[in-house]
A = this chain, B = another copy of it.
Amino acid sequence: MPPTPLSPSAEKGLAARRKLTSAAAALIGELGWTAVSTRQIAERAGVRPGIVHYHFPSIKALLAEAALATIEPIVAAALPALTDATPTEALDALVQGLDAYRGTDPASLVFTEMYLAAARDPELRERMAGVMHRFKAALTGCFGDEATATVVMAVLDGFVLQRTMDPSLRAASLVPVLRRILPGGVS
């Protein structure tokens, strides 16, 4: 749809919302989901503290929006390389993309924080599951069966955790091992 013109006041509100979600996402990574406060978000966004509760019903709702807005583009960006790709091509693309997630960067931390928050909040769990399901469906399409897709997803998430323990780990070193899991032998 074409961009609807907004009143100056509505535009200001939209800008505030965007600054708040962006600040919230950064702070989830830096401090952890449950450690983020409305005051810190407001300070980082350059707005007064109370503004948070005008634009969002609660800090929980703001964190959910911020985290979903972080992971959705990441997952969406990974999908094209999986569509109509051979298993080997898909694996190479995934591993290449994986190197960006070093475990201690904001995106990695938001992902892991969100799994934990989702484990404690059914509504957030549903919303995150919707995003992750699209990714898993694409993997299942590439690799042929769901069990293989599950293992590949687990490796991606788990490798990010491993990297927090050993930053010297490189995604490329996974390739020889992961080639072996492709169904039907090495392709």
Chain A residues with CB under 8 Å of chain B are 30-35, 103-104, 109, 112-113, 115-120, 125, 128-129, 132-133, 147-148, 150-151, 153-159, 161-162, 164-166, 169, 173-174, 176-178, 180-183
Assess the B118–A165 pair: CB atoms within 8 A: yes
Can you add 15 more A-B contacts, CB < 8 Å, to A119-B164, A129-B166, A154-B158? A32-B117, A33-B34, A34-B34, A112-B161, A115-B161, A133-B165, A147-B173, A148-B177, A151-B177, A154-B154, A154-B159, A157-B161, A157-B162, A178-B181, A180-B182
Partner of A155, one of B117, B132, B158, B183: B158
A154: B residues at CB distance < 8 A: 154-159, 161-162, 174
Assess the B116–A116 pair: CB atoms within 8 A: yes
A118: B residues at CB distance < 8 A: 164-165
- Most interface-central of A32, A129, A183 (chain B CB within 10 A): A32
Assess the B165–A150 pair: CB atoms within 8 A: no
Give A156 to B120 CA distance when docked, in angstroms. 21
Assess the B129–A165 pair: CB atoms within 8 A: yes
What's the nearest-Cβ distance from chain B to residue A169, in Å?
7
Q: Which residue of B lies closest to A35 (CB)?
A: B34
Assess the B103–A119 pair: CB atoms within 8 A: yes
A117: B residues at CB distance < 8 A: 32
